Structure 1
Amino acid sequence: MGTADETGMQRPLWADEPVGRRRMPDPVRTAAVRAVIVTAVTMIQAMVAFFCTLTGSWLAFPMLLSSVGSTVVTTWAVLDVWVTRQVWNQRNGVVSVPSSTARQLRRERRRARRTARVAAREAARIRRRGAGRLSQA
């Protein structure tokens, strides 16, 4: 399932590397794909309008009008990607950086609560066992 190198040992055809960035959320990716498709169609319409103008075809003016309309739609689609991304980040939270100050403060508070719980549990256990009595009677 691989190729043999000079030593005769099999080496894999490819090595999986960890992904550098996280995958885009589904709504953002959908909007981005839609924007790319609309942009491609707009560019094709503009080229057809240009070539129709060069050849003097009657189709040049309708294609020019549709290209202008498609440009408006393309701008809208690109803005939709940006807005969808902002809404996603606002609703689902931005991925926090591990060195975030807020995360560090939460960690410290959690640690303090944990030590307070352990101390309270220990004090309750000592009280239950009757510590502090000098005799068993």
Structure 2
Amino acid sequence: MGTAERRKAPEESVAERSAERWRHQAPDRDIPVRERAGESAGGQQELYHRPLWVEEPARRRRMPDPVRTAAVRAVLIIAVTLIQAMVAFLCTLAGSWLAFPMVISSVASTVVATWSVVDVWVTRQVWSQRYGVVSEPSSTARSLRRERRARRRQERTALREQERIRRRGGTGQLSHP
């Protein structure tokens, strides 16, 4: 069965697809669904339940802990900076004495926010260099290792050949020194 048969038709709505998925999933024990109730063999009414959520595999890998920590810190600093900038703008419009200190602190916060974003980038690069082994066939490191191995193999073959010539007592050489 191909993808087209499984999904039925491309013009089918998302709601119809999710309703169809509901009918074929394992029941959840906590939430009753009235329209799917049926009679069991003992004459009692058996309830089927729908799950609260459906587990789907992640599309991207999880960020490493140091990078995620730096990113959360950067988001918080940027949020505070935006709030400060908004307060500075509103104080300026209102003609408040607080406008000048808020503008100065907003400028300082902008510098700190920029630094925090750079920190996320640097942390990510450092983590990738330390722990991120690229294992793709097009990896530079892998091609360099492959070249080194081939060169060593050629050197070993040449040394074996020289040893074999020496063991034979020079036979096989075209001229003797």
Does 1 or 2 have the higher relative contact order (CA < 8 Å, sep 6+)?
1
1:18 Cα offset (Å): 1.1
CA contact (8 A) 1:3 1:12 kept: no
Q: TM-score, normalised by structure 2?
A: 0.53
- Corresponding position: 1:70 with 2:109: yes
Provide the residue aligned with 1:16 in structure 2. Answer: 55
Paired amino acid for 2:132: G
Q: Does structure 1 residue 6 correspond to structure 2 residue 35?
A: yes
The equivalences for 1:52-131 within 5 A come to 52-94=91-133, 96-97=135-136, 100=137, 102=142
- Size of the alignment, in residue pairs? 104
Give the structure with the larger helix fraction. 1
Query: Could you tell me how far 1:3 is from its partner in structure 2?
Result: 3.8
Q: Give the drift of 1:95.
A: 5.2
1:60 to partner: Cα distance: 0.4
Where does structure 2 lack aligned partners over 5 or more consecutive residues? 1-29, 38-47, 147-177
- Which sections of structure 1, spanning at least 5 residues, go unmatched? 107-137
Distance of aligned partners of 1:54 and 1:83 in 2 relative to their CA distance in 1, 3 Å threshold: same
Query: Considering only aligned residues, what root-mean-square deviation do their CA atoms show, in Å?
Result: 2.4
C-alpha displacement of 1:94 = 4.1
The structure with more radius of gyration: 2
Misfit runs of 4+, over 6 Å:
none
